[in-house]
Amino acid sequence: MSVHIGGKPGDIAERVLLPGDPMRAKWIAETFLEDAVCYTQVRGMLGFTGTWQGVRVSVQGSGMGMPSASIYTHELINEYGVKSVIRIGSCGALAMDLNLGDVIAAIGSATDSNMNRTRFDGLVDYAPVADFGLLRTAVDAAEAQGTPIRVGPILAADAFYTDRPDLYDSLADYGVLAVEMESAAIYTIAARYKAKALTILTVSDHIKRGEAMDSAQREQGFSNMVKIGLNTAIA
Ligand code: HPA
């Protein structure tokens, strides 16, 4: 057991999907994995291990935001020997050519979080990036299953509700596709402890157009993303 995860050593696979929502972890385990077993319920942040196409995979809720996602990423890698972490989640689109349900792979993650500024004493703006091998595999997996995937940079924001929509406009001008709340920390911690990380997202809302998915759109969109994540994890 680590501080925040109740699993025993060996309970967690080397390849982990990391949705923010623990109930989505449960849904993924029940819908996609075979022989899924729940290894942790600590703080309600559910984690499951099962198999996908015969390969052991775990799905662990990370919670919302970088402090929470950092805890799970750190403990998965350092306490359970996890080698690759694939965040799957939702995002708010900034790019005007993105639509609800579109799938994004985050090549890099800009952030307004202070975590990396603290890490580097404010002297360096560290660039959190995806593992290139995982990214390439995800793009191939998406093509193989016929799901269009957009690769580009995103913003990992500390706040869901912002008082500075003007900053989102500037980021969009610089090619930032969308906003979520975890990727920069996951990429940084994976790099620090020599693991691989990738973030795959489904556009659940369009920030600039004020649109949001309904529940049927969410489930279909998320299924395509989960399959890309699972096929990337086992490759
Ligand atoms: N902002 C931040 N995170 C998100 C959003 C958003 O608009 N939508 C889904 N995750």
pLDDT above 80: residue 221: no
Length of the chain: 235
Residue 96 and residue 92: Cα distance in Å, rounded?
A: 11
Q: What is the mean pLDDT of the chain?
A: 96
Residues whose beta carbon lies within 6 Å of some atom of ligand 1: 90-92, 157, 160, 179-181, 204-205, 207
Mean pLDDT to the nearest integer, 109-125 = 95
pLDDT-based confidence at 220, cuts 50/70/90? confident
Residue nearest atom 7 of ligand 1, based on CA coordinates: 92
Active site residue 205: yes
Residue 69 and residue 109: Cα distance in Å, rounded?
A: 14
Which atom number of ligand 1 is nearest to the Cα of residue 207?
7
User: For residue 193, how far is its CA from the centre of ligand 1 (angstroms)?
Assistant: 27
Residues 6+ apart with CB under 8 A from 10: none
Write down the catalytic residue from 21, 112, 158, 205: 205
User: For residue 179, how far is its CA from the centre of ligand 1 (angstroms)?
Assistant: 5
User: For residue 35, how far is its CA from the centre of ligand 1 (angstroms)?
Assistant: 32
Residues 6+ apart with CB under 8 A from 51: 33, 34, 35, 57
Looking at residue 7, the DSSP 8-state letter turns out to be: P
Residue 5 and residue 24: Cα distance in Å, rounded?
A: 17
pLDDT above 90: residue 93: yes
pLDDT-based confidence at 151, cuts 50/70/90? very high
Q: Quick: pLDDT tens for 177-219.
A: 999 999 999 999 999 999 999 999 999 999 999 999 987 777 7
